[in-house]
Amino acid sequence: MMRLCDCDSAYDYESQCFLLDITLSKISGLIAQLLWLEAGADLNCSTQEGENALILAAKGKHVDCVKYLTEYMPSSALNHKDDVCGKTALMWAASSPEKESPLCMQHLTAAGAKVEEGDKDGYTALMLAVQNRHTDAVSLLLNNGALISIMTSDGETPLSTAL
């Protein structure tokens, strides 16, 4: 079985994860995942930036792919954070004002993604959605138990990020 990102050289590692990212961006996310699975790919791999397949799918707003991954990846992948910003797939989806983002977020929260998880600075998905004036995402997160009283390391709250 081929391990997509468990390679001996940095070039192979980066190029194979890059191919996963390119595949997700060029064709339907679900088709891409099925093709990678048939080839024996390890969907738990991460790019050098620490982005796993779920983060890449959420950042690319591939709703069908996010749905598939939340059903078949281990639950630990739901709250995996990238190495650069410390964001989960839910945080990346909340950061994006596109219409597909709440659909991605629905699948992530239904699968058990933690709405109170904070990034490296303590910003939660709710704070990121508020900052980006993403009202559908804000509603979805509040309906899934996001707290309005939580604070970042700098003392920011969801309310203060709205101002």
Domain spans in the chain, listed from the N-terminal domain onward: 10-162
Residue in the structure block whose two tokens are 């707003």: 61
Residues 6+ apart with CB under 8 A from 3: 40, 41, 42, 45
Nearest partner of 99 among 46, 71, 144, 140, judged by Cα = 140
Q: Are 90 and 118 in contact (CB under 8 A)?
A: no
Domain 10-162 belongs to what architecture?
Alpha Horseshoe (1.25)
| Burial class of 100 by CB neighbour count within 10 A (0 to 12, 13 to 18, 19+) | middle
pTM of the model: 0.79
Per-residue model confidence as pLDDT tens for the chain (163 residues): 333 333 333 334 444 554 555 455 545 555 666 666 667 666 677 778 888 888 988 988 888 888 888 988 888 889 999 999 999 999 999 998 888 899 999 999 999 999 999 999 999 999 999 999 999 999 999 999 999 999 999 999 998 988 8
